[in-house]
Structure 1
Amino acid sequence: MRTNKPLTSPLLLLLFLLIKLIFQYAVLNPVYDLHRDEFLHLDLANHLSAGYLSVPPYTAVNSLVIKWLGNGIFWVHFFPALYGMLTMIIIWKMIDMLGGSWYAQTLAAAMFICSAMSRVNLLYQPNSFDILAWAAVCWCLLEYLHTSGGRWLLWMGVITGLGILNKYNIGFLVAGLLGALLLSSHRKIFKDKHLYIGGLIALAIAAPNLIWQVRYGFPVLHHMKELTETQLVNVDRMAFVADQFIFFIGGAFLMMAALVGLLFFRPFRPYRVFLLAYIIIILLYLYLRGKSYYSLGIYPVLIAFGCVYWERIFQGGWTKNLRLVWLALVIVPFALIVNAIFPVLTPDQIQQKARKFSALGLLRWEDGKDHELPQDFADMLGWRELAGLTLKAWQQIPADQQKNTLIIGDNYGHASAVNFYNLGKMPAAVCMDADYVFWFPQMDTIRYIIKIGRAPEKEVMPLIGKVTEIGSIKETLSREYGSAVYILSDLSPQVPQLLRKRVQQRQQDYRGLR
């Protein structure tokens, strides 16, 4: 089905890649800080390891590159945008393989940009590379089914291994594809030695992280348990299904076209395994109450099928004149709500349009309740202010006692934001949350504590001689509104011992030892 493309096709791709890159920067209002998760991921560069509680190690390596480039905001946003652009190239290649023309590629590029994919590509999180890895694995399988070339299975192994080092979510794709292949006419693939060599390659690439998990008692299981109890329990399965269509807004008809085409379109018959894999993956997420965006990685291949099939339906006669209509259906609905799904508006402007945001379900947080701002937006406010207060507190510590000062936040957002903004100005902050529980400094000579978050608990107040509040976040729409910075001084000699005990208990919790 592959065809030779005219010169305009790569030039057209380049145009869409530039549009994609510009768009990702244009929809971010500078009034917002980075997201709390972005601060955490960037801080991993300062603690290189084969594994972390929060993510596998690929993000740390990516963050190290950003650090080498100067840790600027431009580069923080560049990499998720880059992974989105690479995903677009893969979709472009899949359409080429399926015999689609420049129009199908244009439709696919518009659909990718005008969808939740661009929302994911906005933040520096593992999700953008995860979607890229899923798309690349599907492309390799598509090429294998088309050519029977064993090298594609080897490349699948390489990409799967890298995908595991980025986010374990790719395991759902592997399960879906293997299950679909086993149930399809392509089960003969299990007789191909390249499949098993590819599997060994994937394991070899992922081995450092897998060994780390074994060594530390599989902390990922504790993380998943915590995630299930605090977030996934609030997942509505019907909302999950609805989101699969909402992700693509006006382009949802092309997703339906992909499913119909894979079921009934004769040239797609050899590739029905992707339809079966899609069903298996969605059912797995529904059963486990996965978040709706976990499934986004399976859609690039469906975008390719949907756009090629739609082009075939409307390629002749008067129906060819409807091509602009289909593009408009993809772009116009997205344009009407772009200010709602991206942090384009200021917090005050969002409050003025609260009904629109509520109607779109954008004000619902992980706790299952509606709030004044979308959760991600509220998580992008107040951090710079908090870091400034922490630095002010540090400067008030006597110079000869700064080496005996512990800086501790209530959560990883506090610690990572302070470390980002105050890098090189003061020692690193820690917390009893996420990976920071393993990064505490020596605490034998603590004389001062800078506490970020809530005031000290009543039960420890007898151990603290003096509490000085430096200030608190004044941005009422920040998720961290009211978080304050305190200097704790005249500490009891019992404080270091108590802190060490709490740190050890927390470490044991994450390692599954308690």
Structure 2
Amino acid sequence: MTATRPFAAAPVSAVAGVLAVVLTALSGRYGYHRDELYFIVAGQKLDWGYVDQPPLTPLLARVSTTLFGDTPMGLRVVSTLTSAVTVIVVALIAREFGSSRGGQVVAAVCAAASGFLLGVGHMVSTATFDLLAWMLICLFAVKLLRTGDGRWWLALGLTAGIALQNKYLVVLPVGALLLALLIAGPRSVLRSRWLLAGVAVAGIVALPNVLWQFQHDWPQLTVAGGISEDDGVENRIMFVPLQLLQLSPFLIPVWVVGFRRLWRTPWARSVALAYPMLCVVVLVVGGKSYYALPLLLVLVAAGADRVLTWPRSLVAVGLALTAVTSAVFTLPALPASAVDFVIPVNKEQGEQIGWPALAAAVADQWNRIPPEQRSSATIFTGNYGEAGALRRYGPDLGLPTAYSGHMSFADWERPQDTQTGPVLLVGIERSPALEAQFRNCTAVGRIDNFVDNDEDGAALVRCDSPAEPWSALWPKLRRYY
């Protein structure tokens, strides 16, 4: 067993506190992200699962808005707190690798300034809570390897089980770590009876959502397959560039040093090996680049102590550039009118702008439907972001419930068969296949956002009526991706 240094609790907590202040100060700018609008509705319809995700993120979204208000700032309190805790865990990982108090603080600063943590910390997303779970799993795994105490399998299993209630991606780092252990050792930790106990704990905690998926014919696999089919080629091409950009190019020397340090440490070599193995898996399946980014933070934690030997002026400039560039590209630091500058690198910035305007444009077209026809009329949207926005802003504009066949919206409600009147379609673009399900469709307007996001130029189409009863039409309108 190797000894650890005292934990730098006060300065590391101060770094986490500064991060929390920055995220809070900026959390009310721009507006909700499309995914957040979806999580708000999902949180109002709690279940053990949804077609595209387990229940934890919608549950936390509901808790946050209930406690702190149904505003972007209120919703994001939970993500701010989660990110602050993540910074502390990264420093604890650095401590496990033998880092001094100074190295632990450097690890915390690197994590807090990284583009990935700032990006997921600003918004409520499954990746926000996934990152904390991955860091905790890595912390417990490193403790297991450093001490040889098999009881850490229980903590690892409990964390993995909770993470599975948020996102199934947690199987990737766990699988990569296990395979790396088989290759690089120490294999003795795999012979512990506590391993089976940890697996059992993870299975019990994750069981409710697994049963839900089983009972609904595993829709999440359908969603994952569709994402890979649609975006797999682009994900593979952009994997390496985005790995370097999304964490921060200025942190490359830190995690390279961290990789070399772990590779030269026999008990930690498997941790180093887990990262390239995970990258290979993500590339093969066509997953998104950020799927492997959390393990880069572990390498940053491993390299942080060596940063103390570098010229202080160089380190200060590097960390400052990391913080500034990360903030510009991941936080709502720029005026909304300037967001087009960062959208090519981080499209999620643009997805937080324009939803109230979209709702207002839909309301304008809705009010043009003759009053006597509105009781039997319907609003149907092409994706969950549009449906979520109309659920959030529509009531104040006099709009009825907006429906969608996208993701779990298809399961929550559908129009009644008595709704035989006009149908107002809202979509990113006109769809002949969709419009074929309705009678006499005519374009009546477009959404004009001042930023180049997905909804800029979205089509508003008015049809006379559905081509058949909604109960017969609904299965044809379901979309999993």
Note closer, same or farther for the CA distance 1:90–1:192 as it changes in structure 2 (3 Å cut).
same
Note closer, same or farther for the CA distance 1:232–1:96 as it changes in structure 2 (3 Å cut).
same
Aligned 8 A contact 1:250 1:334 in 2: no
Q: How many residues are matched? A: 473
Residue 312 of structure 2 is aligned to residue 326 of structure 1: no
The Cα offsets for residues 372-429 of structure 1, whole Å up to 9 and x where unpaired, read as xx52233222211111233455566677866544321122221011112235765432
Q: Which deviates the most, 456-465 or 213-222?
A: 456-465
Cross-structure match for 1:502 = 473
Aligned 8 A contact 2:239 2:289 in 1: yes
Gaps of 5+ in 1: 365-373
Q: What CA distance in whole angstroms lies between the structure 1 residues aligned with 2:259 and 2:459? A: 52
Q: What CA distance in whole angstroms lies between the structure 1 residues aligned with 2:359 and 2:417? A: 26
Q: Which deviates the most, 34-43 or 93-102?
A: 93-102
* From 415, 421, 424, the counterpart of 1:450: 424
Q: What CA distance in whole angstroms lies between the structure 2 residues aligned with 1:329 and 1:78? A: 29
* From 11, 23, 39, the counterpart of 1:41: 39
Q: What CA distance in whole angstroms lies between the structure 1 residues aligned with 2:290 and 2:437? A: 47
Aligned 8 A contact 2:161 2:203 in 1: yes
Note closer, same or farther for the CA distance 1:345–1:459 as it changes in structure 2 (3 Å cut).
closer
RMSD: 3.0
Instruction: Within 5 Å, give how 1:70-149 maps onto structure 2.
Output: 70-116=69-115, 117-149=117-149
Q: What CA distance in whole angstroms lies between the structure 2 residues aligned with 1:344 and 1:106? A: 25
Larger Rg: 1
Instruction: Within 5 Å, give how 1:58-457 maps onto structure 2.
Output: 58-69=56-67, 70-116=69-115, 117-237=117-237, 239-246=238-245, 247-264=247-264, 268-311=265-308, 314=309, 322-335=311-324, 338-350=327-339, 363=344, 374-392=346-364, 404-422=376-394, 426-446=399-419, 447-453=421-427
Q: Which deviates the most, 243-252 or 37-46?
A: 243-252
Task: Give the share of equivalent positions with the same residue, in percent.
Answer: 23
Note closer, same or farther for the CA distance 1:468–1:294 as it changes in structure 2 (3 Å cut).
closer
Aligned 8 A contact 2:417 2:471 in 1: no
Q: What CA distance in whole angstroms lies between the structure 2 residues aligned with 1:52 and 1:183? A: 37
Aligned 8 A contact 1:430 1:439 in 2: no
- Does the residue aligned with 2:122 lie in a helix, a strand or coil? coil
Note closer, same or farther for the CA distance 1:477–1:287 as it changes in structure 2 (3 Å cut).
closer
- Does the residue aligned with 1:33 lie in a helix, a strand or coil? coil
The Cα offsets for residues 264-284 of structure 1, whole Å up to 9 and x where unpaired, read as 3xxx33111101212211121
Q: What CA distance in whole angstroms lies between the structure 2 residues aligned with 1:139 and 1:506? A: 44
Structure 1 letter corresponding to 2:360? G
Note closer, same or farther for the CA distance 1:463–1:503 as it changes in structure 2 (3 Å cut).
closer
Q: What CA distance in whole angstroms lies between the structure 2 residues aligned with 1:105 and 1:395? A: 59
Structure 2 letter corresponding to 1:92? A
Q: What CA distance in whole angstroms lies between the structure 1 residues aligned with 2:430 and 2:288? A: 33
Shift of 1:301: 2.3
The Cα offsets for residues 31-67 of structure 1, whole Å up to 9 and x where unpaired, read as x232212211222112222211222111121122133
Structure 2 letter corresponding to 1:414? E
Note closer, same or farther for the CA distance 1:221–1:468 as it changes in structure 2 (3 Å cut).
closer
Aligned 8 A contact 2:373 2:422 in 1: yes
Q: What CA distance in whole angstroms lies between the structure 1 residues aligned with 2:304 and 2:468? A: 62
Shift of 1:463: 6.0
Shift of 1:71: 1.7
- Does the residue aligned with 1:235 lie in a helix, a strand or coil? helix
Note closer, same or farther for the CA distance 1:67–1:398 as it changes in structure 2 (3 Å cut).
farther
Aligned 8 A contact 1:282 1:295 in 2: yes
Shift of 1:443: 1.8
- Does the residue aligned with 1:407 lie in a helix, a strand or coil? strand
Aligned 8 A contact 1:29 1:344 in 2: no
- Does the residue aligned with 1:450 lie in a helix, a strand or coil? strand
- Does the residue aligned with 1:124 lie in a helix, a strand or coil? coil
Gaps of 5+ in 2: none
Q: What CA distance in whole angstroms lies between the structure 2 residues aligned with 1:299 and 1:169? A: 16
Aligned 8 A contact 1:250 1:333 in 2: yes
TM norm structure 2: 0.88
The Cα offsets for residues 190-214 of structure 1, whole Å up to 9 and x where unpaired, read as 2211111111111111111111221
The Cα offsets for residues 337-379 of structure 1, whole Å up to 9 and x where unpaired, read as 643443322354355xx5xx5xxxx616xxxxxxxxx522332
